[in-house]
Structure 1
Amino acid sequence: MQTFEQVIQSNAALIQKVVDFDVKHDQFLPLDFTAANTELTDRILDDTDLFSDWVNEKLAKNNARYGIGGYNEHRTIYSRSTHFDTEEEPRRLHLGVDIWAPVGTPVYNFYDANVQSFANNNNFGDYGTTIILAYEIDGFKFNALYGHLSLDSLNGLEQGKFIPAGAKIATLGSKEENGYWPPHLHFQLIENMEGLKGDYPGVCKFSEREKYLANCPDPDLILKVTFS
């Protein structure tokens, strides 16, 4: 049986965009949210507006359209929310890729899909508005979670609805609708939803890293972004 990576690579010509990007004029800026980033003080992380200003300043300074990064990144920024804390071990390992961009930035479906589920996960630090689409490519079934969207992105959705490749499916939400984060897309691939609807962990305990990374392949297989 083909691996997920092999299936995507053999169908690469059919994979469409997730966000608008002009390779001649636009660029992605890798953003580091580990302990190595000493610029992000508690004062900044505790204030969503200051955090947003920090991201925007980085993008402007580097003439970048989007910030990018996060897959398999051990992030200290989740200390800003008790949502990621557990009694025995906090969740800090990021399982998706984040694309940091302005409120209202369009988000697109990269391949024919059906709506698996959707929800408003409105805890502080959570996904906020969330859409999960189900895909099948050459018999390989998987899902993609799109988080931190605008509330109106849920209009007209119903479970099982067909979403064609290339369709605009959402826009990025403001802090009030995206879990109180600077505006960005959390994009995560998930092979087995484990019976969940409208939600799936986007951050796991480091001790469970291998289990979750095995179920959540690198989204760069779809995004085709070079992080170096």
Structure 2
Amino acid sequence: MKTFDQIIKSNASAILKVVDFDVVSDQLLPLDFTATNTELTDQILDNTDLFSTWVSQKLTDHNARYGIGGYGEHRTIYSRSAHFDTGEEPRRLHLGVDIWGPAGTPVYTFYDATVQSFANNNNFGDYGATIILAYEIDGFKFNVLYGHLSLASLNNLEEGQFIPAGNKIAELGAKEENGYWPPHLHFQLIKDLQGLKGDYPGVCKFSEREKYLANCPDPNLILNYSFG
């Protein structure tokens, strides 16, 4: 039986874009949100506008269209929100890839999909507007969570609705719609939603990393990004 990685790689030619990107002219900037990034002070993290300005300036300084990264990253930035503090061990390990860009940036479905669910997770630091799409490639079923979208992205959606590959499904939301983050897309592959709808943890406890990373494969299988 083929692994998930093998299935995606063998169908690479059918995998379309998630955001607009020209591999010839556009650049990506890896953004680090671990404790090694000492530029991100508490003052910046505590103010979404300052945080947004920091991200935008980084992209400008490096002539990059998007900032990207974060899969399996142990992040300090989640200390800004009590939403990630669960008992004795806070949730800090990131399970998706973030694509940082301007609010209003279009988001597309990379393959034929159906709407599994959608919701507005409007806690501070949460996903805000969220869409989960169900996919099946070569008999392998999985889901993708698209988080931090505009509220308008949820309009006219229905569970079970078919969305053809290449269709625009959403736009990146402003802070008031996306859980009070700088505009970005949280893109997360999920094998088993475990009965959840409209939401799934995008950050887990470090002690539970093996279980969650096994259920949430590296999104770069789909995004196929590289730096250089």
TM-score band by shorter chain is over 0.9
- What's the CA shift string for 1:6-27, capped at 9, x where partnerless? 0100100000000000111101
Per the normalisation by structure 1, the TM-score is: 0.99
How far has the Cα of 1:95 moved from its partner? 0.2
Instruction: Give the aligned partner of residue 154 of structure 2.
Output: 154
Asked whether 1:141 is paired with 2:141, we answer yes
Identical columns (%)? 81
Alignment of 1:122-137 (within 5 A): 122-137=122-137
In 2, the alpha carbon distance for the partners of 1:206 and 1:44 equals: 25
How far has the Cα of 1:227 moved from its partner? 4.8
Instruction: Give the aligned partner of residue 6 of structure 1.
Output: 6
In 2, the alpha carbon distance for the partners of 1:195 and 1:27 equals: 38
How far has the Cα of 1:183 moved from its partner? 0.1
- What's the CA shift string for 1:143-162, capped at 9, x where partnerless? 00000000000111000000
CA contact (8 A) 1:103 1:171 kept: yes
In 1, the alpha carbon distance for the partners of 2:213 and 2:21 equals: 27
Alignment of 1:47-66 (within 5 A): 47-66=47-66
Instruction: Give the aligned partner of residue 167 of structure 2.
Output: 167
- What's the CA shift string for 1:58-87, capped at 9, x where partnerless? 000000000000000000000000000011
Instruction: Give the aligned partner of residue 68 of structure 2.
Output: 68
- What's the CA shift string for 1:23-55, capped at 9, x where partnerless? 111011000000000000000000000000000
Asked whether 1:17 is paired with 2:17, we answer yes
CA contact (8 A) 1:112 1:135 kept: yes
How far has the Cα of 1:184 moved from its partner? 0.1
Structure 1: gaps (5+ residues): none
SS state at 1:160 partner: coil
How far has the Cα of 1:135 moved from its partner? 0.4
In 2, the alpha carbon distance for the partners of 1:117 and 1:124 equals: 21
Instruction: Give the aligned partner of residue 43 of structure 2.
Output: 43
Aligned AA for 1:71? Y
Aligned AA for 1:79? S
Instruction: Give the aligned partner of residue 199 of structure 1.
Output: 199
Asked whether 1:120 is paired with 2:152, we answer no
Structure 2: gaps (5+ residues): none
SS state at 1:78 partner: helix
Instruction: Give the aligned partner of residue 105 of structure 2.
Output: 105
In 2, the alpha carbon distance for the partners of 1:167 and 1:3 equals: 27
Aligned residues: 228
Aligned AA for 1:116? Q
- What's the CA shift string for 1:68-115, capped at 9, x where partnerless? 000000000000000000112000000000000000000000000000
Aligned AA for 2:191? E
Aligned AA for 2:218? D
Runs of 4+ in 1 over 2 A off after TM superposition: none
Per the normalisation by structure 2, the TM-score is: 0.99
Instruction: Give the aligned partner of residue 214 of structure 1.
Output: 214
